[in-house]
Amino acid sequence: MRVIYTDIRPAAASLENGATFYASIEDMLPHCQVLTLHVPGGGVPLLTKNEFGRLPQGAVFVNAARGGLVDEDALFEALTSGHLFSAGLDVYRSEPNVDKRFAELDNVFLTPHMASATIETRGQMGFTALDNVAAVLDGRPALNPV
């Protein structure tokens, strides 16, 4: 698979591994047959009607980032109009409540926010929690304050 991406700046050449960098999401979207979203945040939608419209006809969308990054009305419209072929959603705008319209579509795969559910990630989460406890008990600020 040819991989393309966008970010604040390109990755080091040694890390790109043949991937192609685009300076903006607007420039990248028309080249995405499959768009997977993996970014922090979630307050303001990153993908709206405009962005879904920039994807090629028949593209696939996967959101394993944050539900708040997606205008769900625009996504629903793109899926029901046939502009998007399908979507895989692991996160939702109003978690834990899933917009029931998506559950009624044959071209949508829904999972219960489990993108981080790997042995390695969960192990690291536990070690990070322990590091936070140790820091606080040592009089230092928590590494990841909530």
Q: What is the DSSP string of 74-119?
A: HHHHHHHTTSEEEEEES--TBTTB--HHHHT-TTEEE--S-TT-SH
- Measured CA distances, 70 to 13, 42, 129 (Å): 30, 8, 29
Mark whether 131 and 98 lie in a shared domain. no
Mark whether 81 and 145 lie in a shared domain. no
Structure tokens at 48: 């709206």
Mark whether 70 and 104 lie in a shared domain. yes
pLDDT at 95: 83
Mark whether 59 and 125 lie in a shared domain. no
pTM of the model: 0.79
H-run or E-run covering 5 = strand 4-6
Q: How many domains would you assign to the chain?
A: 2
Mark whether 98 and 123 lie in a shared domain. no
Catalytic (active-site) positions: 66, 95, 113
Please give the residue range of the domain that contains residue 139: 116-146
DSSP state of 31: G
- Per residue in 17-70, pLDDT tens? 999 999 999 999 999 999 999 888 767 899 999 999 999 999 999 998 889 999
